[in-house]
């Protein structure tokens, strides 16, 4: 198993902002990648995630977030093992989504279109080099939800979006 840091920080810190998506102006002719992910642990201080990214298996360990950043370590995992863990050991239901990468103003935005239990939710995330990095927000991006814990994938397993979306204020 090899360690692959998701971002540029050699200490394993992820810095990201998360937003709702207003419309489909972001979508081009790109094909997204189907993701299935589940959680072995998702308490408030850490999450342990198993993911299939298309035909690639991943194990991700995340620590508690402070503001925009938190510890994150990601490892390659044999696909057979990932499928077994998702089916037999992860909390159910698992998260199903299609991820698109959208290049805008020098950054890569990841747009997740959720299916299954969270159908109807579309989120855009952008990873940053620092918490105070200035970014230009695309016109198709809506309300920021970075600090709203309901939008964390680990929480969407036990509290699916359709069950509380009526509570959102525009």
| Three-state secondary structure string covering the chain | CCECCCCCCCCCEEEEEEEEECCCCCCCCCCCEEEEEEEEEEECCEEEEEEEECCEEEEEEEEEEECCEEEEEEEEECHHHHHHHHHHCCCCCCEEEEEEEEEECCEEEEEEEECHHHCCCEEEEEECCCCCCCCCCCCCEEEECCCCHHHCHHHHHHCCHHHCHHHCCC
List, by residue number, the catalytic residues.
Answer: 39
**Torsion, Cα of 76, 82, 85, 88 (10° steps):** 180
- Cβ atoms of 170 and 22 within 8 Å: the answer is no
């Amino acid at each position: 198993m090899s360690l692959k840091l998701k971002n540029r920080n050699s200490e394993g810190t992820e810095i990201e902002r998360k937003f709702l998506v207003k419309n489909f102006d972001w979508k081009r002719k790109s094909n997204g990648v189907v993701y299935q992910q589940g959680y072995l642990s998702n308490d408030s201080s850490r999450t342990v995630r198993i993911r299939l990214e298309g035909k690639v298996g991943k194990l991700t360990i995340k620590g508690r977030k402070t503001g925009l950043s938190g510890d994150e370590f990601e490892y390659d995992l044999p696909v057979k093992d990932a499928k077994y863990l998702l089916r037999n050991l992860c909390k159910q239901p698992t998260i199903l989504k299609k991820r698109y990468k959208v290049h805008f103003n020098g950054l890569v935005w990841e747009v997740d279109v959720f299916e299954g239990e969270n159908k109807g939710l579309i989120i855009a995330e952008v990873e940053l080099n620092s918490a105070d990095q200035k970014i230009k927000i695309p016109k198709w991006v809506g309300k920021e939800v970075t600090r709203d814990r309901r939008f964390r994938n680990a929480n969407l397993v036990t509290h699916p979006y359709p069950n509380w979306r009526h509570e959102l204020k525009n």
